[in-house]
Amino acid sequence: MSAGDDILLRVEGRVGHATLNRPRALNALSYDMAMALEKALDDWRDDPAVDMVLIDAEGDKAFCAGGDINALYSTGKTGNLDYARTFWADEYRLNAKIAAFPKPYVALMDGIVMGGGVGVSAHGSHRIVTERTMLAMPECGIGLIPDVGGTWLLARAPSRIGEYLGLTGTRIGAADAIHAGFADTFVPSDRLEALKARLVTTADASSIAAFAAEPPEGELALIENGIGAAFSSPSVPDIAGALGKMDAEWAGKAVKAIDRGSPISLACTLEMVRAAREDASVAESLKREYRFVSRCMEDGDFIEGVRAAIIDKDRNPAFAGARKEMPAERVAQMLAPPPGGDIEIPV
């Protein structure tokens, strides 16, 4: 298979320009798209005629709504676990390459940004959001965890915002994406074309500042103290209990979101975000994330979570109650080195 027209890769001036081109699928990232982007990045990294990388997407609804979950589900459902493991391992190496890319990597995060979309944007050096940006890491709802280096990013958010976003999958806009450390700069969407033209002409990332503005007010800074009080609790049930005692609309929504999540995904996400605070590089977090995803079809809730959310769309997955205490041994088993050892990710 080939990525074909699903991702457009070209050099314009001194800029390597990648455009995700599946707008009808909300620019969902397929395996072939990820591998085509990786090859282009390798070429552009070593090409003295390329000074910058720019990644954007077709359409104004989504930058990238995540990885191609349907392909992962359909192969996993037939018992083919190798496809998903290869997808995740190779995708994670791409994420690490983006984080370590030696040239400016400018991501225009316009529209929906979730899962795999976070992985190909939020590790870049220059991350731009608009008034249309809607970012989330909702993986616990489908039996996954905030992967693609998501635990690394969440661990670096202020206070306990990382635990909050990771466990609840809360959708955030531009100001909150910047506050949480997933983005750097707000540019109104009606300035994007002019910004792209300037970048292609100059290959100068400092020119972004001329197009920047103040984003509409967010919410995270206003509720940060409450988030810190609740999400510093030692376990998922304790966090839910603390939220239940708060007389605040956001806390009530957070409890409901946690109740909808996969218990093993929630428990592992909490463990992984906290462990990632001690990681020296995103590569360490990605290796830990792979430990979970390599097991999530056989020993986790991924197949059932995707069935309920995406395939049958009944929104009624057969998860155990989300407030159930997950034994530490079960979490440790999901996060132990996989058979064959950890994946290799260059630092």
Q: Are 137 and 146 in contact, with CB atoms under 8 Å apart?
A: yes
Residue 339, domain member (yes or no):
no
Residue 345, domain member (yes or no):
no
Q: Are 9 and 40 in contact, with CB atoms under 8 Å apart?
A: yes
The pLDDT, as a whole number, for residue 80 is 87
Q: Which domain range does residue 244 map to?
A: 4-334
Amino acid symbol at 78? T
Residues marked as catalytic: 67, 116, 139, 147
Distance, C-alpha 155 to centroid of its chain: 13
The pLDDT, as a whole number, for residue 244 is 96
The pLDDT, as a whole number, for residue 12 is 97
Residue 344, domain member (yes or no):
no
pLDDT tens-digit profile, the chain (347 residues)? 346 799 999 999 999 999 999 999 999 999 999 999 999 999 999 999 999 999 999 999 999 999 989 889 999 998 888 999 999 999 999 999 999 999 999 999 999 999 999 999 999 999 999 999 999 999 999 999 999 999 999 999 999 999 999 999 999 999 999 999 999 999 999 999 999 999 999 999 999 999 999 999 999 999 999 999 999 999 999 999 999 999 999 999 999 999 999 999 999 999 999 999 999 999 999 999 999 999 999 999 999 999 999 999 998 898 855 556 789 999 999 999 998 899 999 76
Residue 92, domain member (yes or no):
yes
Helices H / strands E in the chain, number of each: 15, 9
Which residue(s) pair with 7 in the sheet?
Answer: 20
Q: Are 216 and 173 in contact, with CB atoms under 8 Å apart?
A: yes
> What is the number of domains present in the chain?
1
Query: What's the whole-model pTM score?
Result: 0.96
Whole-angstrom CA distances from 273 to 19, 80, 284, 305 are: 30, 29, 12, 21
Q: Characterise 39 by phi-psi region: left (phi > 0), alpha (psi -120 to 50), beta (else).
A: alpha
Q: Are 200 and 267 in contact, with CB atoms under 8 Å apart?
A: no
The pLDDT, as a whole number, for residue 324 is 67
Query: CA–CA separation, 11 vs 149, rounded Å?
Result: 27
Query: CA–CA separation, 84 vs 81, rounded Å?
Result: 6
CATH assignment of the domain containing 281: 3.90.226.10
Amino acid symbol at 335? L
Residue 114, domain member (yes or no):
yes
Listed in sequence order, the residues at least 6 apart from 194 whose beta carbon sits closer than 8 Å to its beta carbon are 211
Residue 163, domain member (yes or no):
yes
The pLDDT, as a whole number, for residue 235 is 96
The pLDDT, as a whole number, for residue 3 is 61
pLDDT digits (tens, 9 = 90+) for 23-53: 999 999 999 999 999 999 999 999 999 999 9
Task: Determine the Cα angle at 184 with ends 277 and 287, to 5°.
Answer: 35
Sheet strand arrangement including 185-186? 7-12, 15-20, 52-57, 105-109, 126-129, 185-186
Backbone angles phi, psi at 205, to 5 degrees: -65, -25
Residue 211, domain member (yes or no):
yes
What six digits make up the tokens of 121? 């944007």
Listed in sequence order, the residues at least 6 apart from 318 whose beta carbon sits closer than 8 Å to its beta carbon are 304, 308
Q: Pick from 104, 33, 117, 94: which is nearest to 282 by CA? A: 94
Residue 343, domain member (yes or no):
no
